[in-house]
Structure 1
Amino acid sequence: MNAALRKAMAASRLTETDVAAHLGVDPKTVQRWLSGQRPYPRHRWAVADLLQVEESALWPEEGRPQEDPALSEHAHRVYAHRWEVPREVWRDLFASARQEIGILVYSGLFLADDAGMAEILAERAGAGVGVRIILGDAQSRQVEQRGEAEGIGEALAARARNALLLFRPLLGIDGVEIRTHATVLYNSVYLTENRLLVNQHVHGFPAAKSPVVEIDRARSPDMAETYVRSFELVWKGAKRVEP
């Protein structure tokens, strides 16, 4: 438990909900910080600012590394289901990009339907980051087969069409390109120049209920390169969506 953080919040007369609202995170995220989980640097700075205390008073550096240790040599973190990946992990993945953002999915509607994520992608593109989005071709046999495998039939094609409509306004920004593909995906890939989130595709289950592996490209370049090359192969054969 982080007693220092709890004491500072009490002194400032702020609740978990107050802190969450100020930082734009879920209250459960603040609960995890109070339980001892170490926030990302930008969140530590923001909390320290909000509570008017030194960051080191809330999260001492002595005796612990700057970031949580990697799960293994290859996987930095593993989530049992995509829905378990905290929203701030997705936000941090894209907001921290300085060179490139890549999204390879069948629909990715959970991102397309999130106005906050769309703002991050637009902001990053405006800052010169190349943004490439590859969505499933809603009319392709591959999307149809995946819908059947997930037990949702034509709903997946509808989700792909909706995602395209929601992502389409980004095409008005220089550096953003959207394509559609008709390939068999064994996983969805979300990448930047630093990290990847790889969502496994499990037969009979939707992507939201399937595992996600986080890969640090510097710590595991060979494993990361496998998924990056796969992304590039799909990108090369995908059809460009015109503005």
Structure 2
Amino acid sequence: MPNHRLRDAILRNGMTPLVVAEKIGVDSKTVERWITQDRTPYPRHRHAIAALVREDESYLWPNAVTPETASRIGQNEVVQLYSRRSSVPYDLWQRLINRAERRIDILAYAGLFLVEQDPKLMDTLRAKAAAGVKVTVFLGDPDKPAIERRSIEEGMPGVMAAKIRQVQQYYDRLKGSGAEVRYHETTLYNSIYRFDDEMLVNMHVLGLPAPHAPVMHLRKLSGGDLFGTYVDTLDRVRAASVLQWDDEVAA
């Protein structure tokens, strides 16, 4: 059975089997066999191809990496663990945002701290979107029960919805930029901030405000499964979220 994922990834990146073969130093017929006969390349070639086509190795060859190996690699995807979000250096947030070249995903209920610590954030995000970075901001829907439940759990009824409406005024400045702002009503177990192949995951703890909860700094590794776990969460929320405006109308 052909490896359609590999074929599509190669074509999507404007390459041919011959080009791939030249770049990684193998015969073009070998690449053809990887595609048409679903042969599994050696690890060094899998890593090289995954980097070329910007896909996860586990996506291109689902059976090539055992769960045990993926778990071990996943442990190395943890760059740093912070005991609370307030301990994450400001310059780390700034560096991750500024270096992003492909995508920025912000998944939170409000994430008001981001605009409070960086008054120029909206200008930066507009510039990123204009440069072709896919910028998506997921905010909690202030009218949904999940938001008020979160406020009650933190002992501050009504506060979370007020924060969302406050931060929405900032993100409204992204209209016409190509960036997306979407509402969700997910029960968030984590707030997730993705910048290309790096990510900050703010773990939520019952009754504890997010600034006082732990944060993991993750960096994607080929064959690992931890980073991908949180990407799956982003994809699920994206599928269930509602776009807040149509840029074609707003522009």
Pairwise TM-score range, normalised by the shorter structure: 0.5 to 0.7
Equivalents in 2 of 1:136, 1:142: separation in Å? 8
Q: Which runs of 4+ in 1 moved over 3 A?
A: none
> Paired residues, what number?
173
Structure label with greater radius of gyration:
2
CA RMSD of aligned residues (A): 1.8
* Deviation at residue 171 of structure 1 after TM alignment: 2.0
Equivalents in 1 of 2:222, 2:123: separation in Å? 29
> After superposition, what is the alpha-carbon deviation per residue over 1:88-123, rounded to whole angstroms, capped at 9, x for unaligned?
111111111110000000001111333122222122
The residue number in structure 1 matching 2:88 is 85
The residue number in structure 2 matching 1:169 is 173
> Matches of residues 34-183 of structure 1 in structure 2 within 5 Å?
73-113=76-116, 114-174=118-178, 176-183=179-186
* Deviation at residue 220 of structure 1 after TM alignment: 6.9
> After superposition, what is the alpha-carbon deviation per residue over 1:184-226, rounded to whole angstroms, capped at 9, x for unaligned?
0000000022100000000011101100000001267411111
* TM superposition score normalised by structure 2: 0.66
Equivalents in 2 of 1:219, 1:157: separation in Å? 39
* Deviation at residue 168 of structure 1 after TM alignment: 1.1
Which of residues 206, 209, 218 is equivalent to 1:206? 209
Between the two structures, name the one with larger relative contact order (CA 8 Å, sep ≥ 6): 2
Is the partner of 1:115 in helix, strand or coil? Answer: coil
Is the partner of 2:165 in helix, strand or coil? Answer: helix
Equivalents in 2 of 1:206, 1:112: separation in Å? 18
* TM superposition score normalised by structure 1: 0.68
Q: Is the 8 A contact 1:106 1:136 kept in 2?
A: yes
Q: Is the 8 A contact 2:126 2:177 kept in 1?
A: yes
Q: Is the 8 A contact 1:112 1:167 kept in 2?
A: no
Q: Is the 8 A contact 2:85 2:210 kept in 1?
A: yes
Q: Which runs of 5+ in 1 are unaligned?
A: 1-71
Percent identity, aligned pairs only, is 34
Q: Which runs of 5+ in 2 are unaligned?
A: 1-74
Equivalents in 1 of 2:120, 2:95: separation in Å? 12
